[in-house]
Structure 1
Amino acid sequence: MQPLQGMLVLDFSTLLPGPLASLILADAGARVVKLEKPGRGDEMRSYEPRLGEDSVNFALLNRGKQSIALDLKAPDALARLRPLLERADVLIEQFRPGVMERLGLGYEAVRRINPKLVYCSITGWGQTGPKAQDAGHDLNYMAETGALSLTGAGGAPVLPPILAADVAGGAYPAVMNILLAVAQRDRTGCGCYLDVAMADNLFPFLYWGLGNGFALGRWPGMADELVTGGSPRYQIYPTQCGRYLAAAPIEAKFWANFCRLIELPEALQAEDAPAEQVKAAVAERIAARPAEHWRQLFAGQDVCCSIVATLEEAAHSAQASARKLFEREVEAGGQRLPALPTPIAPLFRAAQACAGAPRLNETQDPLLLI
């Protein structure tokens, strides 16, 4: 039996943060019902590339869920939803603050129907504060929390390749707090309201910079700290063949091994050696040989160095295969592809290896009284 088997989750969200959160809950056994707009549904259905009638993105994020199309502005929407609201354990929404209230589905209204409900709102800026109503995307949250200012190598900030705010700031904290709220409800019998702000949840990733700033008044800038490019021990060095070495031999033992293998002069190995001079010397040595030379030289040597892999290489790597990361499948329109790995331990997953993504309004649920 999966840990969340028997849990009913109503998901009013679209695109990424909310759907990923409910996907994680579904992977742990919850029944997830998506409430979508009639005709169009979740906007992500229309994205490219396609898998069956809908997008690959939609299929990856909505595997194993059910779909009901309902106009939330219709006069009878609340009446039709009431049977599901009475039975639901969790509700997830990511509209701007105030939207669910205007629809008659705000927390206070829903709590009167089901006081045990855990109600989770995911937004960029949270329910309060001067930015609460501002539109935003991942890049905006990264920019306004200071994270983006620390990217790059001393020039302009660079576009992050991952959607850290949506996933690590939105979906993951939502799941964490939902599970905490369910555990609390098991003791008290009462549900609660959760305000998950993606921007807020980026700050823990910058703990070291906050510590330096608050304690010493030394706020980090671009390329001037250990993990932003200020040290030769945490750098990306180009190789002779045009590939890159990600070198992170921070600790003394790793640095000693690294310096020995690349034959760095002893004077440049010292803690007080000028950082820019050391970086230049290391870069010169790494650039003299192709990536495969360094891969073989560093193998098994405890140096914390990696050749930068492409996403294709990583997805097909021996490590991914050994961990069975892409063993499960998602199906849509008669087509299958590897499912999105979620951070649920194999112990808690269903035995079923393949699950489908729902077609819009495919769920004929008698509880909706349609």
Structure 2
Amino acid sequence: MRPLDDVRVLDFSTLLPGPFASLMMAEAGAHVVKVERPVRGDEMRSYEPKIGDDSVNFALLNAGKKSIAIDLKAPDSIARLRPLIKEADVVIEQFRPGVMDRLGLGYEAMKAINPKIIYCAVTGWGQNGPKAMIAAHDLNYLAESGILGLSADRTGAPIIPPVLIADLAAGAYPAMTNVLLALRKRDRTGEGSYLDISMGDNLLGLAYWGLGNGFAANDWPGGSDALVTGGSPRYQIYRTADNRYLAAAPIEDKFWDNFCTAIALPADMRSPDADWNTAIEAVGAIIASKTSTEWMSIFEGKDVCCSIVASLKDAVADPHVKARRLLDRKIAVDGRTIPAIPVPVSSIFRSAEQASPPSLGADTEAILSK
């Protein structure tokens, strides 16, 4: 028994936020039907590299789901979808505000068919407000939420994050969380819900410490000038003698003391009163004097909160990843298998079986002809 075994999800979303949310639901047992446009389907199918006919991105994000292909603008589309809407527990969509209403598939229209439906709309800026209709992507949400301004190099230039923070941390995860909350509410009241998930809104909470500094002390942080943005020697990236990088995060005094002793940092640079930039330069010079291997040998067995920056390829080969069995689950595509995404759904809720992504419209006839 998986916790969402009895939950049916009708997913109109594409690309990343919605599909990742419904993937987590599928991993927990939900029956997810992906609604795609004919011929092209989800834009993610066309991305590179490919595994089988579609992109590996699509395969990873949509394993275990079913796919129907239907033209939502066709005169009979609502009639054909009506039985699915009637039995659905959750609907996910990420069109701009108003699009689903114009198609006759907005919340009020679906609620008239199924009063208990939980309708989750994922957008960049929410359903109302001055930015609601503005086109944007992850980098834009990060830029306008102030997050990107907190991520800068020593020159002050913002750095492009390597992961899609808005789509995942501010889109998919809040969507999943609120769907679960809405299901719990429905269990108690019998009522459905409309969920307005705004990636722009949800990003603000990720900068909680900066908001606190600003609101409480009018000390609004910029890039590279605060404790966790590179302004402190206690939370910094240092180059080693072999041109690798040491991620040092000995923030608390006990870790800082251990770190300073291990690298033999002069006493005046250890003091809380030391100028941060001067201390960063002093620590940097010491770290640059030895190789990454030498430093990890020196740090071994000591609580110093230091790591050598790994490549993604190195990270997946880490013995800890193997011990935690993070990549044990597989997806199968055209006779090939690759590790499934290690989604944040506990292993006790997931099936051990291999899953496969659906080919475009593979389940149209079986599902819509009922």
Aligned-partner Cα distance in 2 for 1:132–1:339: 34
Contact 1:41–1:69 at 8 Å: present in 2 too?
Answer: yes
SS of equivalent residue, structure 1 residue 92? strand
One-letter identity of the residue aligned with 2:263: I
1:125 and 2:156 aligned: no
Q: Residues 91-145 of structure 1: CA distance to partner in whole angstroms, max 9, x if unpaired?
A: 0000000000000000001000000100000000000100000001000000000
- Structure 2 length as normaliser, TM-score? 0.98
One-letter identity of the residue aligned with 2:36: E
Aligned-partner Cα distance in 2 for 1:364–1:148: 42
Corresponding residue for residue 187 of structure 2: 186
- 20-29 or 354-363, which moves further after superposition? 354-363
Contact 1:9–1:90 at 8 Å: present in 2 too?
Answer: yes
Corresponding residue for residue 286 of structure 2: 285
Q: Residues 306-365 of structure 1: CA distance to partner in whole angstroms, max 9, x if unpaired?
A: 00000001111111111111101111222211111100001111131x110100111155
RMSD, aligned α-carbons = 1.0
One-letter identity of the residue aligned with 2:280: K
- Structure 1 length as normaliser, TM-score? 0.98
Matches of residues 196-215 of structure 1 in structure 2 within 5 Å? 196-215=197-216
Corresponding residue for residue 170 of structure 1: 171
Matches of residues 280-359 of structure 1 in structure 2 within 5 Å? 280-352=281-353, 354-359=354-359
Corresponding residue for residue 229 of structure 1: 230
Aligned-partner Cα distance in 2 for 1:300–1:17: 40
Corresponding residue for residue 50 of structure 1: 50
One-letter identity of the residue aligned with 1:307: I
Following TM superposition, the consecutive aligned residue runs of length 4 or more in structure 1 with deviations greater than 3 angstroms are: 364-367
One-letter identity of the residue aligned with 1:87: E
- Per-residue deviation, 1:270: 1.1
Corresponding residue for residue 369 of structure 1: 369
- Per-residue deviation, 1:154: 3.5
SS of equivalent residue, structure 2 residue 67? strand
Q: Residues 20-52 of structure 1: CA distance to partner in whole angstroms, max 9, x if unpaired?
A: 000000000000000001111001001100000
One-letter identity of the residue aligned with 1:302: D
SS of equivalent residue, structure 2 residue 294? helix
Which residues of structure 1 form unaligned runs of 5+? Answer: none
Change beyond 3 A, Cα 1:367–1:355: closer
SS of equivalent residue, structure 1 residue 246? strand
- 77-86 or 276-285, which moves further after superposition? 276-285
Aligned-partner Cα distance in 1 for 2:231–2:308: 20
Aligned-partner Cα distance in 2 for 1:366–1:275: 65
SS of equivalent residue, structure 2 residue 228? helix
- 253-262 or 214-223, which moves further after superposition? 214-223
Matches of residues 137-156 of structure 1 in structure 2 within 5 Å? 137-155=137-155, 156=157
Corresponding residue for residue 116 of structure 1: 116
Corresponding residue for residue 106 of structure 1: 106
Contact 1:16–1:166 at 8 Å: present in 2 too?
Answer: yes
The alignment covers a number of residue pairs equal to 369
Which residues of structure 2 form unaligned runs of 5+? Answer: none
SS of equivalent residue, structure 2 residue 2? coil
- Per-residue deviation, 1:366: 4.6
Contact 2:85–2:113 at 8 Å: present in 1 too?
Answer: yes
Aligned-partner Cα distance in 2 for 1:364–1:56: 22
Q: Percent identity?
A: 59
Aligned-partner Cα distance in 2 for 1:7–1:365: 21
Aligned-partner Cα distance in 1 for 2:192–2:365: 24
Aligned-partner Cα distance in 1 for 2:68–2:133: 28
SS of equivalent residue, structure 2 residue 355? strand
Corresponding residue for residue 84 of structure 2: 84
Aligned-partner Cα distance in 2 for 1:163–1:334: 30
- 169-178 or 358-367, which moves further after superposition? 358-367
Contact 1:320–1:326 at 8 Å: present in 2 too?
Answer: yes
- Per-residue deviation, 1:66: 0.2
Q: Residues 205-239 of structure 1: CA distance to partner in whole angstroms, max 9, x if unpaired?
A: 10111011111111111211100111100000000
Aligned-partner Cα distance in 1 for 2:205–2:291: 37
Aligned-partner Cα distance in 2 for 1:175–1:144: 24
